[in-house]
Structure 1
Amino acid sequence: MEATWDATAAWRMDDTSLWHACDQAQKIRQSAYVRLVEMVAELWNRTGRSKEDRVSMVAQVQTQLRVSKKDALQIVAHAQLFGREAVRDAARAGELDADRLTVLDQTLAQAPVLDRDEVEAELINNTHLPLHHFRLAAKRILVLLDQDGPEPRDDPARPKREFHYNNRPDGSVAFRGTIDSESGAMLAALISPLAKPKADDTRTTPQRQGDAFADMIELAAGSENLPDEGGERPHLAITMHIRDFLQGLRGGEFEDGEPVDAETGRRIACDSKAFRMVLEENSAPINIGRSSRTVPIPMRRALIVRDKGCAFPGCHRRPRQCHAHHVIHWADGGPTRLDNLVLACSMHHRMIHHTRWTVEIVDGLPVFTPPGELRPGHRSGRPNSRLGV
């Protein structure tokens, strides 16, 4: 029976009616899928149900229904599940949709044969759960069935971990990869607090997560536990002409040859470990100075006591996630003193250097001033900076 649809009806409905119509359409969609799987299950039962029959059935479903091979494999797998009466009844009752049937199929395939009926019953009892929690319930069941984990092996398989990255023409880096579930859970736990939106945050979720990932790289680079390479701890080397650095005229380059603009170089130099190397005109080194930290540890501790974290209004990044920014840049003669320093997270440190936001120390506390067109005449200081809380 062919359904009829009034294409002009939707615009006449209010929001409540539209959502009700969506709910009805979703139920029809789910019911139609169950009906489809039931028909394929009957076709499957008419075969010898061998491995070859399954390959043939997948090909027929793909051809007859004009679906992808992935969808055909799913439909046939679900049709085979309909040989289990409890599964069939739950699907007909609307308790098992396509996603939950897939979870059930994968879980039964991993469960010991003698336990499959019990696993099936337990999962069907939990079909009311949201899909994510339904998947977690399935994983917990498998863990409970195998408390000892897989048998020890003489050549244990390594977790599947891959990381690929390449430099783009503009100097940015593109990457992709895969990590195991345990490492993935740790990654999520690290990124989540770093990617929380800040006050008046206009970044998208991917942008916030990208900034969080960059913060993690900075935190890792500052760790005392990283291994040396070539006799040195991991570091970032930038080459700039001293005149360009002091005057902010032209940029320089990282040690791999990638260009860097002058202001980025000055920002990185704000709170870093730096050394001086004097080069002749032909770039031959003629003098190398001692390495020194621009902001000594005792002064950074005093800065933490004053600012308690990123001093930008509404930002709550912790001190270990912040840089020490020179209000008057030390390249311009600014002193490395408490009254010329302010803690800023990477996002707000970048903002100070690369936009027209400014910061100054007033009565011993940092005060940020936005560009005139944003808030004409308005200056904003950290709300709690004067309260000492």
Structure 2
Amino acid sequence: MCSGGLVGGDVLDDVASVVAERNRQDARLARLVRVAELEQAPERDGLKSMASWLRGHCRLAAEEAARLVRNGRAVEHLPALGEAHDAGLVSAEQVAVAAKAVTPQRLSAAAAAGVDLSVIDAVFTQVAVEQPHADLVQVVQRYLDDLDPDGPEPDPTEQRSLTVVRHADGSRTLSGSLDAVGGEKFEVALESFIQVDRPAGDERTRAQRLGGALVQLCDNALAAGSLPVLRTVKPHIAVRIDLDDLADHATGRNAATMGSGAVISAARARWLACDGTVSRVVFGPDGVPLNLGREQRLADRHLRRATELRDGGCVFAGCSAPTWWCDVHHLVHWIDGGETSLENSALLCERHHTKVHHGFRVERQPDDRWHTYRPDGTEITTPAPLLAPVA
């Protein structure tokens, strides 16, 4: 007898029932996403795609948002599989596997080869409903191999990918893959740092030394000043710290904020300042001239840095574009008498900078929060966090 008072068989029946219900809800969600995509609904909220809307407004991970979009497209091309998904017999993950067979390129290849897609749909559906998940993976892969038995010469740029996951403490986890040539270049570059710096007593693992070499490679590239200029500013590491914390010798946990929003200690900020440039940014009329008045139309590096520190990225609702994708926008346009000042500035990515020049509007409220409005005056809001049900 389990703690809930159900015998084992009853619990397993409930598990199967909930899985089927989840599959049905996943199917409904995928179809709704597809309808929204076809209607270009994200444009109403100033976003380009359903994937970006799902990330910004529903707080989905990038891969999950992309999978939802792909699944919504897949059930259109594979109606039998879609019906099984609607009925709860097929999971979202199974649909995602089958979706690889109905990308635009593979649909074109199938049409050119005279493939009857309804037959493929029936086979995929039968295997998905009756066989283990691994069998569906194999069946889909065999179809892809038969569709293009020789396979084109791979484009190396399409074989290169890198995913960077940022954690709450500012650390990153990297995962990715490189083609043979790209991988060779990568290893040769890192190995040069590892071999030239082998101090006595270094007990770091190979993985730790490779990580250090990657950071050193970035250090050298940033210091050389030869990286592409981003939004009129050379790439740089920005850290915001109060003067008192910078001058103090204490560790000062959580005293400094990096450009990405990660919080670090005052000690680590002082370490970065040893071989960096320290700028005094004052959010007021003294020190760095944040208010440039009407004499200068474009924000200089001081004003841009202050705007980056305040806004942290694009302020348009639902957008998570980092500072280096953004322009400094005049809230009251310069041509209309607006001053070039921090108070009259907002950080906007290129897409949303264009949007606010075509009817959308961003506004900073007295609570220091940004609000975004559609051309019809209604506000764009992201859903509030879900609340736990009251017992």
Band of TM-score, shorter chain: 0.3 to 0.5
Structure of higher CA gyration radius:
1
The structure whose RCO (Cα within 8 Å, separation 6+) is larger is 2
Normalization by structure 2: what TM-score? 0.35
Normalization by structure 1: what TM-score? 0.35
